[in-house]
Amino acid sequence: MAEPTIPNAISDWMNARNWGMHHIIWHLSRIWDLLDPQDQAWVEQNGGSRASRQEGQAGNGLDFLAMHRVMIRQLKQEFPAHANLFVGWPQPPTNPNDANDPMPNNGEPKPFSANMSAAVTRVQNNIAGFQSDDDLGLFIQTRLRPVAGDPGNQSPDNTTGIHNYLHNRFSDSTSPIDMGSPLVNLHNQRFWRLHGWIDNRWTAFRTAKNLPENEPAYQQALAAAAHHMEDHEHSPHIHLMEMTAKAADDWVNALDVPEVGRHFFRFVSNLGD
């Protein structure tokens, strides 16, 4: 089954604003301490640097939620006729042969992880049990919990990281819009199904906690996310949606994207193995 692409108009709009590069730099700058020096140099050459909060550290859970919310809100505002594309799953599909979202043959285990099933249940049914926006974001995003001297330290809670797990579960290195690559996965409808679900659960959390839209820390996080996106605007105009898998791979090769960036979610998901 072909992967579900977003409309060309949306793809072109994101490409014109360099969202793919913004997205990969955002993620790589937050695993900086796990990168080789040459990969760090690539991030710097493309306008990035070490983020003050690394993936899994306090504060980065809110950063993660805010960055994706800013993207979703901008797309809904710019393309109201396509707002349904960003609504998200009611909950993530667990059947590897799901009619709308089948797993690719990517070598990952077909049965849905029991730990990740428990994570989905918690996020669906006990959203008020999280202590803060950041607590929720960290739980959903990643198992990483870096500490001094060990940037790859993992949370002892094996139910953390449903976001990274789902990206990896639906990754397909033969696809020009591989869910495992932050550079190109914005063009895959499954990206927005996943992040729409996460954004919806964040809204449910803030509603349950009676947190107002004008809360300063929340607004500051949204503003910082928007500013980061603006820093990466104005890219060469490409038509990724019209590329063959080989042409897309050639384009990524021309950018000299590090291997960790091409398979980002496989990398972070396998750190504890």
> Is 2 inside any structural domain?
no
Which residues span the domain enclosing 64?
8-269
Domain membership flag for residue 50? yes
pLDDT of residue 65: 98
pLDDT value for 230:
76
The domain total for the chain is 1
d(CA 121, CA 125): 6
Q: Which residue numbers in the chain have pLDDT < 50?
A: 234-239, 241
Confirm if 195 and 88 have CB atoms less than 8 A apart.
yes
Are 156 and 248 contacting, i.e. CB atoms less than 8 angstroms apart? no
Question: So what's the pLDDT on residue 109?
Answer: 96
Instruction: Evaluate whether residue 163 is within a structural domain.
Output: yes
Could you tell me if residue 153 is inside a domain? Answer: yes
pLDDT reported for residue 236: 45
pTM: 0.93
Q: What is the mean pLDDT of the chain?
A: 90
Q: Which two tokens stand for residue 167?
A: 């990206």
Whole-number pLDDT of residue 252: 59
pLDDT digits (tens, 9 = 90+) for 149-165: 999 999 999 999 999 99
Beta bridge partners of 150: 147
Inside any domain, residue 220: yes
Structure tokens at 98: 């799901």
Could you tell me if residue 3 is inside a domain? no
**Could you tell me if 202 and 133 are in contact, meaning their C-beta atoms sit under 8 angstroms apart?**
yes
Residue 61: inside a domain: yes
pLDDT at res. 31: 97
DSSP sequence for 103-115 = PPSSSS-SSPPHH
Distance, CA of 248 to CA of 265 (rounded, Å): 19
